Amino acid sequence: MEIRKDMKGSELTVALEGRLDTTTAPQLETELGDLPGVKTLVIDMEKLVYISSAGLRVLLKAQKLMNKQGAMTIKNVSQEIRDIFEVTGFNEILNIE
Amino acid sequence: MFSKLLMKFKSNITLQILTGVLMVFVLLTGLVCVIGYVQFTDAIEDQYADSAYNTARTAAYELTPRFLKLNDPTLREYQMKLIDIKRNWNKLADTQDATFIYLFKAASDDVTNEYSKVTFLVNVANKRTGFPDYSAGYTITQTDSRYLRAFREIYERGSERVEIAVYRPEEKYTSGNHITVMVPVHDHLKNVIGILGVERRMEDLDDVRSLYLRHVLIFSAVFLLIVMSLYGYYLSGKLLSPIQEIASEAMRFARENTRAEIQLADKITDISEIGQLARVIDVMEENIVSYVDNLTRVTREKEQIKAELNVATQIQADMLPRKFPPFPEHDEFDIYASMTPAKEVGGDFYDFFLIDDDHMALVIADVSGKGVPAALFMVIAKTLIKNVAQMGNLSSSEILREVNTRLCENNEADLFVTVWLGILEISSGKIFASNAGHEYPAIKHVNGNFELFKTKQSPAVATMDGMKFREYDFELEAGDVLYLYTDGVAEATNSHDELFGTDRMLNALNKFENESAQEILTEMKLAVDNFTGDAPQFDDITMLCLRYFGKDSGGKKA
- Give pLDDT tens digits for B174-189: 777 889 999 999 888 8
How does pLDDT run across B28-38, given as a tens digit for each residue? Answer: 888 888 888 88
By percentage, how much of chain B surpasses pLDDT 90? Answer: 38
User: What are the Cα distances from residue B103, in Å, to A55, B9, B82, B133?
Assistant: 124, 68, 11, 12
To which H or E segment does residue B179 belong?
A: strand B178-186
Please tell me the predicted confidence (pLDDT) of residue B9.
Answer: 67
Instruction: Over range B349-360, report the average pLDDT.
Output: 94
Chain A residue with the nearest C-alpha to that of B438: A88
Residue B487 has pLDDT above 90, yes or no: no
Q: How confident is the model at residue B1 (pLDDT cuts 50, 70, 90)?
A: low
Separation of alpha carbons B233 and B29, rounded Å = 22
Please, which pLDDT band fits residue B11 given cuts at 50, 70 and 90? low
At residue B553, the pLDDT reads 57
Which residue in A21, A53, A94 has the most chain B C-beta atoms within 10 A of its own C-beta, making it the best mutation to test that interface? A53
pLDDT at B557 over 50: no
pLDDT of amino acid B197:
93
Residue B478: predicted pLDDT: 92
Q: What is the pLDDT of residue B516?
A: 93
Spatial CA neighbour of A31 closest among A57, A53, A5: A5
pLDDT at site B158: 87
Q: What confidence score (pLDDT) does residue B558 get?
A: 39
Q: Give the residue-averaged pLDDT of B275-286.
A: 89
User: Could you tell me the maximum CA-CA distance found in chain A, to the nearest angstrom?
Assistant: 35
- Flag whether pLDDT at B500 surpasses 70: yes
- pLDDT of the residue at B556: 47
Q: What residues in chain A have per-residue pLDDT under 70?
A: none
Kindly report, residue by residue over B62-104, the tens digit of the pLDDT.
888 888 888 777 888 888 888 889 999 999 988 988 889 999 9
CA distance A11 to chain B (A): 24
B325 preceded by a cis bond (ω within 30 of 0): yes
pLDDT category of residue B379 using cuts at 50, 70 and 90: very high
Cβ within 8 Å, pair A89-B457: yes
| Mean pLDDT of chain B, nearest integer | 88
Instruction: Give me the DSSP letters along B37-60.
Output: HHHHHHHHHHHHHHHHHHHHHHHH
Task: Find which of A29, A85, A92 to mutate to test the B interface (most B CBs within 10 Å of its CB).
Answer: A92
Whole-number pLDDT of residue B555 = 47
Residue B199 CA from chain centroid, whole number: 73
Higher pLDDT, B454 or B274: B454
Which of chain B's residues have a Cβ under 8 Å away from the Cβ of A87? 437-440, 457
ipTM, 2 dp: 0.85
Cβ pair B366:A53 closer than 8 A: yes
**What are the CB-based long-range contacts (under 8 Å, 24+) for B238-245?**
B238/B270, B238/B272, B238/B274, B239/B13, B239/B14, B239/B17, B239/B274, B240/B12, B240/B13, B240/B14, B242/B267, B242/B268, B242/B270, B242/B274, B242/B275, B242/B278, B243/B13, B243/B274, B245/B278
Give backbone dihedrals phi and psi of A32, rounded to 5 degrees, phi first.
Answer: -75, -45
CA of A25 to nearest chain B CA: how many angstroms apart? 10
Assign B113 a pLDDT band (cuts: 50, 70, 90). Answer: confident
Task: In whole angstroms, give the CA distance from residue B467 to residue B460.
Answer: 10
CB atoms within 10 A of CB A66: 20
b/e string for A68-80 if b means 16 or more Cβ within 10 A?
A: ebbebebebbeee
* CA B275 – CA B179 distance, rounded (Å): 63
Contact B459 A90 (CB under 8 A): yes
Section B134-156 average pLDDT: 87
Does residue B344 have a pLDDT over 80?
A: no
